[in-house]
Every structure is written in C-alpha cells, then in structure tokens.
Structure 1
Amino acid sequence: MFEVWRIVSRMGHLQRLAPLWLIGMAVLVTRFQPVLLVALAYGVALQFLVEYAMHRFLYHRRPPQMQGPFNQLYRDHIGHHEFPTDPDLLTGGNRWFAAVFALVSAGLHTLALALFMGIGAAAGFSVVALWVGSVSAYVFYEYCHTLAHVNLPKGRFGRHVTRSHLAHHYQDHHATFHVSAGMGWIDRLFGTGHDPQAARARYDRDTMMSLGMDPDDLRLVLARKAWGLPGWPGRRHG
C-alpha cells in the first residue's frame, strides 16, 4: 500500500541504513559469485531471528526499577503498547541503533569469517548478508508492523498481518513475538505461538495494554510525562 510505504520511507533509522544497503548492493552486483546468494539467505534468516529475540528478550524484559532506564524502555516499546495507534511510537527512540548494529555485526562477521575465507571475501560476504539481506528483511518487518497498525482498507495479506500482530497487542503479550509475515514458525519453534486457551487464562483487561503493569504505576506515569504523552485515564477498561 502506498500510504504504508510512505510512512516506512520516512523512518529515520531506515534512512540511515540506506547507504549501507547501497554499498552492499554494489558489492553484490560488481563482485557477484554464487556464494553471495548464500550470504543473502543467511542475512534474511538472521534478521528474522534477531527480530524475534529483540522483541521477546529486550523489549519484553522485566521493566527496570530505575526511572531513567525505564523511560528508555518505555520509549522503545512499552509506550507503543499503551498507545498502539500513535504513529510516533511505531519505532523505538534510538534511531541510530540500527545503523550501529549493522556496522558492528558486519565487522564481527568479517573477523570471524576471515579465518576461513580471507579478509576480502569475508568482508564481501558480510556486507551482502547484513547490509542487503538483513536490511531488506528489516524493511519488510517495518512494512508489516506499520501495515498492522494503520487504519486503512486492507487486502487478504494486510488482514492476515494485522490479525497476527494485534493478537500480541490485545489478546496475549506473552506470545506472538514475530511480526514479519510468514515467520510464525519462529514462535512455534520457541513455544510462544498464539494459543487461544492460554491467552484467555492470562488475559487481564486492566493491565493488558501496559504489559502486565498497573497502569497507575509511578514509573509509567513519569515515563508518559517525560515523553510528552497524554495522561493515562486510570484503567483503560474501567
């Protein structure tokens, strides 16, 4: 959908990744060899696993007690759950993180692979894998995530993505950590697939949107104020 791509194209962290993607594409085209197709597949698969791991273990970790770290986690993810239709909260607050992660990952991969294939070949494999494969998969993730949250007419694909992701938001925030379409196998592999019976047993209408926290918890109140968000009117369903 054009509107979804318009939103995605304006995301600062993706704009910062664009030069790396172009460099990776230049390497892929000018130095093409079959092993780079393996690099592409590896980079895509790695990003989908990183997507799951970061969502589950970083963004849904136990909320910090100290207000400063809590404010950052709130901006990165908790706020998105409390205000899921706010376009400013679709992505986290650290817009340089993705570019730094891509650079560091490529460097580490190059050092590790250089032991087996030489520094030049290792660098080429790494930038194609991480700056083309992984970045492309990351853009697809942002597309799916945005598509799930925008209020627009949606076709079959859009309805599927929306149903899957909003089950995480509105039914069970302990499950369905994948967002990219077709990646439900990762949740099933790690035992976090959506289970309607488990979702009903865990569901608490008062704390669902605040990831199990009391909506009036002082940390949440202060975090909303710190990021200039509207005050929380007590219990969402009260």
Structure 2
Amino acid sequence: MIPTLRVLLHMGSLQRLFPFWLAAIALAVWGWTPWLILAVLYGFILQFFVEYAMHRFLLHRKPPTEQGIFNHLYRSHIGHHEFPADPELFTGDDHWYPVRFGLISVALHTAALWPFLGLGPAFTFAFVGLFAGSVSAFAFYEYCHTLAHLNVPKGWIGQKITRDHLAHHYQDHHATFHVSLGMGWIDRLFGTGHDAETAKARFDRKTILSIGMDPEDLRLVTARKAYGLPPKPGMKRAQPGE
C-alpha cells in the first residue's frame, strides 16, 4: 500500500483537487442536512460512470490524424498502453483538467437543481456531491489503477484489481474499461465485459500495446520522440546515469 500511496501523493491532478475536496467537506459540515449523504452517494456512483465513459469514448477514440492533437491523446493514454509500467504515464499531462471538469459539472448540476431547491441548496448539493463524493471515487480509481501497475506485494484484492485491469492492457483493449474494484458490472451493463474467446479472436501481438495501431505508425514514432520515450513499446525509459 505504501508504494501506491507514494505515487498518488505526487499526482498533480489529486494535488489540485485536494483543496476542493476539503472545501466540500467544510461546506457539508457548515450546511449539514441528511440530504447531503445522498449527494455524496450520487457523486461517488456518478464518477464510476464518468470513469467508464471517458476511458472508452475519449481515451480510446479513433486516433487523430493531426499530430498535435494525436500527441495530446498519446500523452493522455496511448503512451500509458505502450509503456504501462512507467509511473509518469499513469495520468495525463493536464493536471488541471479534473478541476475544470468538476467546476463545470457543479455549474450544470446547480443550474438543473436551482428551480427545485433554490440557488443555495442546489449549489451545496452539487458542490458536496461532486467534490466530496466524485473526487473520493476518483482517488479510489487512481489507487486501483496505480496498484494494478506497480510491481509490489498484493493481497487477493490487489491481485483481482491487477488481473482485471491488465486483461485490458494485454489481452483485449476493446473491453474491461472499468478500473475501480467492484465496477465490472458497468462493463457488463454496456456489453464490454471481458470474454476469453472474444479476446483470443481479437488479439494481435504486434499491435496490442499500441491499442490496435501499427507500432511503426509515424504518429506514434513522433509522439514517443516528443515525450522522450523509448523507440519501441514496452521498453523501459532510460534512467539518469544509465
């Protein structure tokens, strides 16, 4: 657990979200009502659907042809598939994105609830739900994701998280988009659960790490150079002094 938490403490996105999480806890204490329990549960569950949707439809979308846009997608996710053991690639490079996403979500939820609850309660419900509930679920996701990739001793829970997630990396990148423990039902709900026979039929050893792209594709080669990564997928990044 300690090595995993050490990585999480250095994640820029979690560092930037932490003050908003604290503010949500403070707001919940200041304006306490039992309805805020529902708000936290709502935000917590909502985040698991967001996790699935962003992973499947945004991070695994058709690779862009324009190199600059492709580089952004590469740094956000493709590079993580090509170099899954590199901690620097566990998250994207835009560490303020979750904060912007959260603030926009709070604004939209407040606007939707305002006619029914009034401005103050609507804002409180939205802010507490999304910055206490959703951020807690997001931190749990990052914990599960990091644990799956670190080569550390794992109990049966850690082993299950690792088996489920690495099936997405090494067997079938078209399935198992959930990462958080216990959220496999979301994949099953949307028809992307892991199936051994389907995975075997889809498997291509040459392209599995590059999520279906030819590893010699010029876009991939250019992106690796841009981010100082090894020339071939799966290789270890050179450390200082090596």
> Shorter-normalised TM-score: what interval?
over 0.9
Contact 2:84 2:234 in 1 (8 A): no
Query: Could you tell me which residue of structure 2 aligns to residue 67 of structure 1?
Result: 67
Between 22-31 and 125-134, the greater mean CA deviation after superposition: 22-31
Aligned residues: 235
- Could you give the per-residue CA deviations for residues 33-76 of structure 1, whole angstroms, max 9, x where no partner exists? 11111101110111000000000000000000110100000000
Shift in Å, 1:26: 0.5
Distance 2:183 2:51 in 1: 10
Q: Give the TM-score normalised by the residue count of structure 2.
A: 0.95
Alignment partners' CA distance in 1, 2:226 and 2:7: 25
Q: What are the superposed Cα offsets for residues 73-110 of structure 1, whole Å, 9 maximum, x if unpaired? A: 00000000000001100001111101111111111111
Residue in structure 1 matched with residue 119 of structure 2 by the alignment? 119
Task: Supply the distance in 2 between the matched residues of 1:100 and 1:80 (Cα, whole angstroms).
Answer: 23
Q: Does residue 172 of the first structure (1) align with residue 178 of the second (2)?
A: no
Residue-by-residue CA offset, 1:1-54 (whole Å, 9 max, x unaligned): 111111101101101001110110011112111111110111011100000000
Q: Give CA deviations for 1:101-130 in whole Å, capped at 9, x if unaligned.
A: 111111111111101100000011001100
| Mapping 1:3-152, distance limit 5 Å | 3-152=3-152
Determine helix, strand or coil for the equivalent of 2:33: coil
Contact 1:215 1:234 (8 Å CA) reproduced: no
What is the CA distance between 1:234 and its match in structure 2?
11
Which 4+ residue blocks in structure 1 deviate beyond 2 angstroms? none
Q: 1:129 to 1:218 in 2, by over 3 A?
A: same
Is the 8 Å Cα contact of residues 216 and 234 (structure 1) preserved in structure 2?
Answer: no
Cα distance in 1 between the residues matched to 2:222 and 2:3: 33
Alignment RMSD (CA, Å): 1.2
How many Å separate the matches in 2 of 1:119 and 1:53? 29
CA distance in 1, matches of 2:223, 2:133: 36
SS in 1 for 2:166: helix
Q: Which runs of 5+ in 2 are unaligned?
A: 236-242
Higher mean C-alpha displacement, 30-39 vs 174-183 = 30-39
**Whole-angstrom distance in 2 between the partners of 1:217 and 1:98:** 30
Q: Which residue of 2 aligns with 1:186?
A: 186
Displacement of 1:233: 7.1
Normalising by structure 1, what TM-score?
A: 0.97
Q: What is the alpha-carbon distance in structure 1 between the residues aligned to residue 233 and residue 147 of structure 2? A: 28
Shift of 1:203: 0.2
**C-alpha distance in 2, partners of 1:185/1:84?**
24
CA distance change for structure 1 residues 127 and 234 in 2, over 3 Å: closer, same or farther?
closer
CA drift at 1:183: 0.3
Equivalent residues of 1:178, 1:187 under 8 A apart: yes
